[in-house]
Amino acid sequence: MSKRVGKQTVKLESKPKIIATTSVVGPKEGKGPLKDYFDIILQDDLDGKESFEKAESSMMYKAIEETIKKANLNEQDINYLVAGDLLNQLSASNFAARDIDIPFIGLYGACSTMSESLSISSMIIDGGFADYAIAATSSHFSAAERQFRVPLEMGSQRTPTAQWTVTGSGAMLLAKEGNYPYTTHVTIGKIKDYGKTDTNDMGSAMAPAAVDTIKQHFQDTGRTPKYYDLIATGDLGQLGKKITQELLKEYGYDISNKYIDCGDEIFDKEKQKTNCGGSGCGCSAVVGCGYIYKNMMQGKLKRVLLVSTGALMSPTSSLQGESIPGIAHAVSIEFGGNQNE
């Protein structure tokens, strides 16, 4: 029996359970509005390491190890680690996985990687290919800034549309059984590119992909925004969030009364001077593993659509004048109610 629903969605028959999560954030994130939801807040963004890149690998290692520990399992119990980050050749994930005794699948979806890794981990569990799988991702402000934009030493002035890459890592452990939030549907997005070239305006570049994936999810499943308690995009920020709401209304979907963007929530934009909000792989990862998951465990949220968003440019493509392709993947997460629905 096919598990496909509509054009781009997969129905997860076994409803893989998210049995443990961990969120690790930097000091700036640890002073933001969601600080009480994070598991580990670093005292400094180097985390005692020699470089920001090594600190990012350390964050991911901590997120993964703590998640395994919470579930009272060992590394040897986990069948797959599915992870990625923003750095060249997935170096943060590769070096974290180097010290972990778990078969590793590396992914690059830019800032969409949390939903991408969660989607693939869910499908691996649902397909009967694993008993346990971990989905993880990370980003680091300083590491990403000097790779994608300008050397930190320049102290460049940030544009009003710019966002602040989240220093953080999140990990989710999926299993076959347990009374925990579970994934029900995965909608894999298509690349959307409307010619945006400004690397300081990620929100506008990614918004069309978010709109397309959310619209397709509703069309494939027959659901409407009313079905969900919360719809959360990854890191569109203030501007991208506004564009997404307006464009979805043109398709007949008004999500405004239950829609948040993780990048819009994680910082106090005025006090912390983050302009349009947060961005980066770690943005939807730590908000998903922290704020969303913990509210689901407490029964405050029952049905959530997590839509991580990514801008698929590279330093090379930007310097060559290429536009910025956008991608978004959606995962439906539920807890409580009838699992047979």
Q: pLDDT tens digits, residue range 64-94?
A: 999 999 999 999 999 999 999 999 999 999 9
Q: CB under 8 Å to 252, separation ≥6 — which residues?
A: none
pLDDT single digits (tens) 229-262: 999 998 888 888 999 999 999 999 999 999 999 9
pLDDT at residue 156, rounded to an integer: 54
Could you tell me the sign of the dihedral formed by the alpha carbons of 278, 284, 287, 290, in that order?
negative
Q: Outline which parts of the chain fall under CATH 3.40.47.40.
A: 13-175, 183-334
Q: Given pLDDT bands bounded at 50, 70 and 90, which one contains residue 203? A: confident
Identify any residues that bridge with 136 across adjacent strands, giving them in sequence order: 83, 171
pTM, entire model: 0.93
Residue 340 has pLDDT above 50, yes or no: no
Residue 172 has pLDDT above 90, yes or no: yes
pLDDT at residue 154, rounded to an integer: 43
Q: Is CATH 2.40.10.170 correct for 183-334?
A: no
pLDDT at residue 311, rounded to an integer: 86
The mean of the pLDDT values for the chain is 90
* Structure-token pair, residue 114: 């949390």
Q: Which fold has domain 13-175?
A: Peroxisomal Thiolase; Chain A, domain 1 (3.40.47)
Any idea of the CA torsion for 10, 96, 310, 8, to the nearest 10 degrees?
Answer: -10
Alpha helices in the chain (DSSP H): 52-70, 91-98, 113-126, 141-148, 202-221, 237-250, 262-265, 281-287, 293-297, 315-319
Radius of gyration of the chain (CA): 18
User: Is 83 in contact with 107 (CB distance < 8 Å)?
Assistant: yes
